[in-house]
Amino acid sequence: MDQLRTDDPRGADFTQSDDPVALFAAWMKEAEAAEPEDPNAMALATAGSDGLPDVRVVLLKGFDARGFVFYTNAQSAKGEELAQNPQAALVLHWKSLRRQVRARGQVSPVTPEEADAYFASRHPESRLGAIASQQSRPLADRATLMSAVAELAERYGDGPIPRPVHWTGFRIAPVSIEFWQNGDYRLHDRVRFTRAGDGWSRARLYP
């Protein structure tokens, strides 16, 4: 007969953690070892002034006590929505680990220095693509985009490729972070951390 588990079989009972940042770091490390493709892929939900939600998958490029960071064109649909309503929600789902993490909070741009450093770390062709793409705008055909990339490659050659001012990063400063672990018979474990002053309060939730 199957027995119900009240802890994570891979380690200590995560529901007893008091630090969501450290817990997220531990889960991300395990995901990087277990997930074959993009363990940092996350669904990002935004809404503009009309209140209509929008969601897409982006890559998490950094996290610490300040929040979760991703990069994009600020003139894209998500960038314009964040300008109108600087709040967002995210979820990372690691199917092989049967886990997910949800968070939501206020959004603010990263510093220009942070954006410069990350942009410079990207492959040169990715940097050219970021400059050439008028993200979320109508595109007549793929040849138009590839022609723009080729022109930029010829212009910059082997020299530095500057970051466009409208290409930057955003940081979601979470007001809540929820950790979910799949359990047998739909008896999952859910723990939500809610911002409380400089710290966090923790609550276990019904699945």
Catalytic residues: 186
- Residue 60 marked as a ligand binder: yes
Report whether 122 belongs to an annotated binding site.
yes
CA distance linking residue 6 with residue 109, whole number of Å: 40
The annotation status of 95 as a binding-site residue, yes or no, is no
8 A C-beta contact, residue 105 and residue 66: no
Is 3 known to sit in a ligand binding site?
Answer: no
d(CA 176, CA 85): 18
> What 3-state class would DSSP assign to 2?
coil
136 is in an annotated binding site: yes
Q: What is the DSSP string of 57-126?
A: EEE--EEETTEEEEEEETTSHHHHHHHHS-EEEEEEEEGGGTEEEEEEEEEEEPPHHHHHHHHHHS-HHH
Answer yes or no: is 58 a known binding residue. Answer: yes
CA distance 170 to 27: 22
Task: Let me know the angle formed at the C-alpha of 49 by 164 and 192, rounded to the nearest 5 degrees.
Answer: 90
The answer to whether the annotation marks 186 as part of a ligand binding site is yes
Task: State how far the Cα of 88 lies from the Cα of 171, in Å rounded to an integer.
Answer: 10
DSSP string across 171-193: EEEEEEEEEEE--GGG--EEEEE
Q: Is 195 annotated as a binding residue?
A: no
Residue 35 half-sphere exposure, CB side, CA atoms within 13 Å? 19
Whether residue 142 is annotated as binding a ligand: the answer is no
59 has binding-site annotation: yes
Q: Is 187 annotated as a binding residue?
A: yes
The first and second tokens of residue 35, run together, are 């997930």
69 is in an annotated binding site: no
Binding annotation: 56-61, 71-72, 78, 100, 118, 122, 126, 135-136, 180, 186-188, 190
Binding annotation for FMN: 56-61, 71-72, 78, 100, 135-136, 180, 190
Binding annotation for substrate: 61, 118, 122, 126, 186-188
